[in-house]
Chain A
């Protein structure tokens, strides 16, 4: 089964809850692989929590680069090239939207933004403050999908 890359959102050595939702939301598309981009010496500590919440594989990229958000884009772009994932999932936030957009334009991937539900064939958006439910598909390999909180129940590993 193909793998799905999930960018791990973390702050002060803690994985954010949105990441656990993504690990569960990825299941219709493939096996979740967590991607951690963090300063040296900090990434490894997150691994146990990620495995417990269903990550089948973890990529750790430790960097002391200070260029803003660019290390995340570079690491994900390299993994899109080498791992040919079924999709890349990123939690919705100001930073997440920006990383996702840059990754999509750099890798020629369809960008599906602020998704509320992920299905095996398509994703669902909510448009104009919930006035419409819009289903969409990507026409490219490895679409980049940003996911709103609440898109999936947090799981505790293999289901």
Chain B
């Protein structure tokens, strides 16, 4: 079975993440970019499936040129090839534009049986792009999977969310997004890292991918950020002096705050 894995480069959550005041876009230069951890789990799930059932793994990534490092990481884990959609015209795309662009790229690939993705990136918190891609491609969306079973052309997942667990079954082709409980991703081996340098990475322009320039990027985004305000620094608390009635003062303060 041939699998496409969607990956995203995100700012490392350990680094200071800043938004540009002018347009509210993530300041990528000021952060440490990494392959989002949930994507490593999606790559791992894809590798386990192709190891059991045969087929190849293609990584698809939309992002700036620096995302090449994240793609190379996925290839060093064992993916076979990658498509890096990295046209400057895409910068500032909203969720709907992103889903449509990714769907366009996937739709242009031959014989895709399964699309795998993480269930949500650590930076944007939309957590809906995989299902949106599935909707555009008219694929069933099996999201938040912690377990995947493939039997012939039928795929079954165990979906776990804060609402509880449910079993979902669909016929291939389908899209699955994985939760962080799906597996522990492998570390790239030295051999894998060397092999990844020679694996093919295509970089189509938006025109080659079939995306209309008039629909791409910040200027035609369906949503616009109008202001970005950093959280004000915490102000000092109120000091109470204990003149023997400290307990009573605290009680009065808490009562005034409607805490007791």
Contact = CB atoms under 8 A, between A and B. Distances in A.
Nearest to A102: B135
A65 B214 CA distance: 38
Contact of A101 (B95, B140, B168): B95
A94 B162 contact: yes
A134 B162 contact: no
B228 A105 contact: no
Interface in B217-231: 221-231
A73 interface: yes
Contact of A132 (B127, B132, B228): B228
Contacts of B100: 105
Interface string A79-104: 00000000000000111011011101
A139 B222 CA distance: 5
Interface string B153-170: 000000001110010100
Contacts of A68: 140-142, 166, 168
B94 interface: yes
A52 interface: no
Contact of B225 (A113, A130, A135, A140): A135
A102 to B, nearest CB: 4
Contacts of B239: none
B226 A113 contact: no
Nearest to B221: A139
A93 B164 CA distance: 12
Given A112-B223, A134-B24, A105 B136 contact: yes
A111 B143 contact: no
A143 interface: yes
Given A101-B132, A108-B96, A113 B126 contact: yes
B99 interface: yes
B125 interface: yes
B222 to A, nearest CB: 4
A2 interface: no
Interface string A94-133: 1101101110111011111110000000100001101111
B34 interface: no
B163 A97 contact: no
Contact of B94 (A110, A122, A130): A110
B73 interface: no
Nearest to B21: A132
A73 B128 CA distance: 13
A135 B226 contact: yes
Contact of A114 (B125, B144, B161): B125
B17 interface: yes
B62 to A, nearest CB: 15
B131 interface: yes
Given A105-B132, A135-B225, A93 B161 contact: yes
A113 B95 contact: yes
Given A95-B161, A134-B19, A134-B225, A73 B231 contact: no
Given A111-B96, A139-B222, A97 B132 contact: no
A137 B227 contact: no
B226 A111 contact: no
24 contacts: A67-B140, A68-B168, A73-B135, A98-B143, A102-B132, A105-B135, A106-B135, A110-B223, A113-B95, A113-B125, A127-B19, A128-B19, A128-B123, A131-B17, A132-B228, A132-B229, A132-B230, A134-B19, A134-B24, A134-B227, A135-B225, A135-B227, A138-B222, A143-B222
Interface of A: 67-69, 73, 93-95, 97-98, 100-102, 104-106, 108-114, 122, 127-128, 130-140, 143
Interface of B: 17, 19, 24, 94-96, 99-100, 123-129, 131-132, 134-136, 140-144, 161-163, 166, 168, 221-231
Given A108-B96, A134-B228, 4 more contacts: A111-B126, A113-B125, A134-B225, A137-B224
